[in-house]
Amino acid sequence: MALPKLIPRNVIFGNPDKVSPSISPDGKSLAYIAPHKGVLNVWAGSLEKKDFVPITNDKDRGIRAYFWAPNGKQIIYIQDKGGDENWLLYSTDLKTKQTKCLTPFKGVQARILKVDKHFKNEIIISINKRDKRFHDVFHLNLKSGKIKMVAKNPRNIDSWLVDAKLKVRGASVARPDAGFDIIYRETEKAEWRKIISWDSDDVLASNALGFTKDGKSLCIIDSRGANTGRLVEFGIEANSTKIIASDDEYDIGGIMANPDTYKIEAVTIEKDKSEFIVIDKSIAADISAIKKIRAGEFDIMSRDDADKKWIVVFLVDNGPAYYYLYNRENKKSEFLFVSRQKLLKYKLAEMIPIRFKSRDGLTIHGYITFPPSGLLRRNLPLVLNVHGGPWVRDTWGYNGEAQWFANRGYACLQINYRGSTGYGKKFVNAGDREWGGKMHDDLVDGVKWAIAQGYANPKRICIYGGSYGGYAALVGATFTPDLFCCTVDIVGPSNLITDAKTIPPYWTNYIALMNKRIGNPDTEPEFLKSRSPLFKVDNIKKPILIAHGKNDPRVKLSESMQIINAMKRKKIKYKFMLFRDEGHGFAKPKNKLKFYAAAEKFLAGNLGGRFEK
């Protein structure tokens, strides 16, 4: 049987129609992100009148993250320039539509630390204005625009904890041994003291989330004494721990806390699919009603100040996101919109959870997406799509690239190789010093699994990925060149020595952790050289496509240029795409569509699938 009709690239990778809805503090208005003159901006309007209009007027990269000011009179958003990740904070007045920069400092990065509905004109932010390596904490008055430093970084703090009174009373401190400590002070004038220590083996499965309402306890994800990260209430003075939620195989993922009481109401655990677990019975009836709205994984995105109206999103693997307004008083819901309306016209594919054993006995999880047709799932061309990070993981749900591959006639394999998070500390720590080693073995074992199942044609397999996934793609082209018939690398490191020495300054507190988990460029250059694709460039024998953003602050453009220049010297053929107004990945629709058009033609030429002309 034939494949379903071709989905235009613009439908998958162009701007969404509407995303990220958020309800106003008074529950009367709604904001969301949608295109305005081809650029993503924030729209807002009355829920009753449906008079939605663009509030912001970004004309360049588009807005992708925003929130209502607690006063309900402003929209606050962040934006960088050309992908440089120097995020500045902007405020747009809903009445006048006038926008002003709240952090008008050159070359700095602002981060949002605390927004609380009880403080209408105040938020807490951090800025690396004084020293690009370290973020200090500032109090920002949204009404006047004035900022005031309230905590100075002593050079080793990587993140801060703010209590329910907007006071800075906790912080995460990076240690030279790659561990992290949580420090605490009773008041902003008191001395700091250490209250929690996480060794380096625990840090990727542990994290401090925030204070309880009374400020006497911390809510933390804690893997000490266990394999997985458990949700724990840590009593500061008593040095006590109370387990709120845990799982034997998976780390606790997201949490849902009451904005008034700070009490944990629910948690999510990313298993093969996301599992939503109610902790506080006071919301049980609401969650039961929400589950009946439609099929799919759901999340609570936004709540009004009265906590009577919620914005709920439903996620599926074979369709767009569905957004609803849920009324807690009558337990009824109102459909708002979907993220990509045109997707509903096409037949999309299912994402199927898989697992297999690695060559050394680890259980490896992942997903496979087949072409959505009557074609037999046999001997298909396959794209191994490697996630970035590497300390994140792929999850179930709609994935634009997976749908794109499947629609073009390829199976898409996504593997949560060792070093991926969410599966406990033993699994994530098994990736230590295994870049280009056992982490790559897991990818190879996954491909061999797909071949053994009869799904994949062993002569038509592509390795594809961005960031760490781009590095993995280059490793595939140089370490196991006979396994893959082509390679696509997006913003991937080629030389682990130079990559480590060109990290952004604000990653300084992670150097010890990176040295432990990847390798130390100062003391182990030969080891890192042995794991770097650049030094095995002679092995490249199949077609390769490389793409990079000129302004990438994480993986510098020089990482791509090094291996390109080496291929030039060796007279190895390659294709290269440089995006001068992008950073670590591609944000602008025109750039995304340009890349995907070239990649689609490249894949068709090497895997034999179809492409949009």
The DSSP result for 122-181, as a single string, is: EEEEEEEEEETTEEEEEEEETTT--EEEEE---S-EEEEEE-TTS-EEEEEEE-TTS-EE
425 pLDDT exceeds 70? yes
In three-state secondary structure terms, 428 is helix
Mean pLDDT for all residues in the chain: 97
Question: End-to-end alpha-carbon separation of the chain, Å?
Answer: 22
Name residue 173's beta-bridge partners: 157, 181
pLDDT, average across residues 231-241: 97
**pLDDT tens digits along 260-276:** 999 999 999 999 999 99
- C-beta of residue 572 within 8 angstroms of C-beta of residue 537: yes
**pLDDT tens digits along 470-526:** 999 999 999 999 999 999 999 999 999 999 999 999 999 999 999 999 999 999 999
Reported as type and span, the H/E element at residue 567 is helix 557-569
- C-beta of residue 199 within 8 angstroms of C-beta of residue 245: no
- C-beta of residue 77 within 8 angstroms of C-beta of residue 56: yes
- Reported confidence tier of residue 1, pLDDT bands at 50, 70, 90: low
Global pTM reads 0.97
Question: Hey, what CATH topology would domain 351-607 get?
Answer: Rossmann fold (3.40.50)
pLDDT, average across residues 151-160: 96
- Reported confidence tier of residue 35, pLDDT bands at 50, 70, 90: very high
Question: DSSP for 453-473?
Answer: TT-EEEEEEEEEEETHHHHHH
**DSSP 8-class letter at 613:** -
Specify the pairing of strand 411-416 against strand 193-198.
unpaired
What percent of the chain has a predicted confidence (pLDDT) above 90? 99
What is the pLDDT, as a whole number, of residue 526? 98
What is the pLDDT, as a whole number, of residue 264? 98
User: What is the set of active-site residues?
Assistant: 467, 552, 584
374 pLDDT exceeds 90? no
Name residue 221's beta-bridge partners: 207, 231
